[in-house]
Amino acid sequence: MATIQLEQVGHRYGTAVYALEKTDIIFEDGKTYALLGPSGCGKTTMLNIISGLLYPSDGRVLVGGEDATRTPTAKRNIAQVFQFPVIYQSKTVYENLAFPLRCRGWETSRIEPRVAEIAELLGLSSRLGQSSRRLTADEKQLISLGRGLVRNDVSALLMDEPLTVIDPHMKFDLRRRIKQASDKTRHTVVYVTHDQNEAMTFADEVLVMSAGRVIQRSTPQDLFENPRNRYVGNFIGSPGMNFLGVERRDDRLYWQEHLLLSNQRLSGLRPDQCVRIGIRPEHIALAAENEEGISAVVQGVQHQGSVNVIDIAVGNEQLKLKIASRIAIGPTILITLPSSRMRVYVDDALLDL
């Protein structure tokens, strides 16, 4: 295990445009991170630079405090799990898990208990004698993971969208096993995904990326509660955050002529600055009986099991709320927007109130 540090690391693929903008990042020893973003945002480029599959155009990579920028992959003691399982089809599950240890000269008396330990951790104990060719896709991916975990000299474990080829109904169980394994072994883990659910349920910290840059780095809860800008607010959450166009009158913000928020800091803003209020669909509520609320027209209802996503219109603006109640399309409802759940954005940047 080791701390991984990127010092002004950037990369260009033979063009003037950076696929990964120069950045400083520290991945702390023993923590789990997710690089989250759409295709082409630079997350796999960053992962391959860490592993040594790609040498950066700029900057340095430090692993455990030592410069590893030009160190070959084989000498970095970093394990990587790819989108598609990389295993030996001709070998048994046991032979696949034992292979990295045999390559390092381990004696059989040491290999057997170590392989048994990792197989138990990943739920593969009953499969050890089977041919890898006969396994399912998720079991093969577990073997790929196990080959990284079985080594005791691994500085970090890197995963590049390891659940892409897994059937949806198997993803939850496989993600649970990967999380349990990483929690127990306490490797430094960097996990690449475009799936926010994977990132938010797996990582200690999530790095949201766009166009080669890290837009925001924080805990899953903080990303949900306090997105730095509209990009993060829309990317995190299902559905994303509502952004309301408001009118500022000194230190007060009005939406559709309803006073939403008052704060002294607002009075210091320039007249030309764009101010919006962000609020999560989960945080908008139906007004209780005899409670004053804002009138909204129900335009659509999406049933999602135990919750419903409601499309509503207030004046000329559309927004979404997420509630357990079932509502018919058409009628007018009354909603409330708790001020404690509102976030103020000035020129697309979160304002600290």
Q: What is the pLDDT of residues 102-151, one digit of tens each?
A: 988 899 999 999 999 889 888 889 989 999 888 888 888 888 888 888 88
CA 150 to chain CA centroid, Å, is 25
Mean pLDDT taken over the chain: 90
Per the CB < 8 A criterion, the answer to whether 48 and 219 are in contact is no
- Among positive and negative, which fits the CA dihedral 69, 73, 74, 77? positive
Confidence of residue 83 (pLDDT cuts 50, 70, 90): confident
Q: How many whole angstroms separate alpha carbon 308 and alpha carbon 327?
A: 9
Mean pLDDT for the stretch of residues 11-32: 91
Does 156 have pLDDT greater than 70?
yes
> DSSP letters of 214-272?
EEEEE-HHHHHHS-SSHHHHHHSSSS--EEEE-EEETTEEEETTEEEEE-GGGGGS-TT
CATH code of domain 242-350:
2.40.50.140
Angle, CA of 227, 232 and 234, to the nearest 5°: 110
Q: How many whole angstroms separate alpha carbon 10 and alpha carbon 60?
A: 9
Architecture of domain 4-235: 3-Layer(aba) Sandwich (3.40)
Confidence of residue 237 (pLDDT cuts 50, 70, 90): very high
Comparison of pLDDT for 155 and 299, the residue scoring more:
299
Q: What six digits make up the tokens of 319?
A: 């927004």
List the 252-255 sheet strands across, edge first.
Answer: 247-249, 252-255, 258-262
Read off φ and ψ for residue 263, nearest 5 degrees.
Answer: -155, 135
Q: How many whole angstroms separate alpha carbon 115 and alpha carbon 93?
A: 10
Q: How many whole angstroms separate alpha carbon 10 and alpha carbon 39?
A: 18
Which tens digit of pLDDT belongs to each residue from 294-321? 999 999 999 888 899 999 999 989 999 9
Per the CB < 8 A criterion, the answer to whether 235 and 196 are in contact is yes
Which tens digit of pLDDT belongs to each residue from 317-333? 999 999 987 787 778 89
Does 283 have pLDDT greater than 80?
yes
For residue 239, is the peptide bond before it cis, meaning its omega torsion is within 30 degrees of 0?
yes
Angle, CA of 131, 137 and 141, to the nearest 5°: 85
Q: Which residue has the tokens 């041919």?
A: 131
Q: What integer pLDDT is reported at residue 1 of this predicted model? A: 65
Which tens digit of pLDDT belongs to each residue from 188-204? 899 999 999 889 988 99
Per the CB < 8 A criterion, the answer to whether 298 and 329 are in contact is yes
Q: How many whole angstroms separate alpha carbon 195 and alpha carbon 192?
A: 9
Does 166 have pLDDT greater than 80?
no
Mean pLDDT for the stretch of residues 3-14: 94
Mean pLDDT for the stretch of residues 206-217: 96
Query: Kind of pairing, strands 188-193 and 32-36?
Result: parallel
Mean pLDDT for the stretch of residues 155-175: 80
Mean pLDDT for the stretch of residues 94-108: 91
Q: What integer pLDDT is reported at residue 191 of this predicted model? A: 93
Does 23 have pLDDT greater than 80?
yes
Q: What integer pLDDT is reported at residue 11 of this predicted model? A: 96
Q: What integer pLDDT is reported at residue 298 of this predicted model? A: 92
Q: Which residues pair with 301 in a beta bridge?
A: 310
Per the CB < 8 A criterion, the answer to whether 289 and 272 are in contact is no
Q: How many whole angstroms separate alpha carbon 346 and alpha carbon 252?
A: 14
Confidence of residue 212 (pLDDT cuts 50, 70, 90): very high
Q: How many whole angstroms separate alpha carbon 198 and alpha carbon 61?
A: 26
* Domain extent listing, the chain: 4-235, 242-350
Mean pLDDT for the stretch of residues 238-244: 95
Tell me which residue of 70, 36, 50, 60 sits closest to 2, measured CA to CA: 50
Tell me which residue of 81, 76, 101, 82 sits closest to 2, measured CA to CA: 76
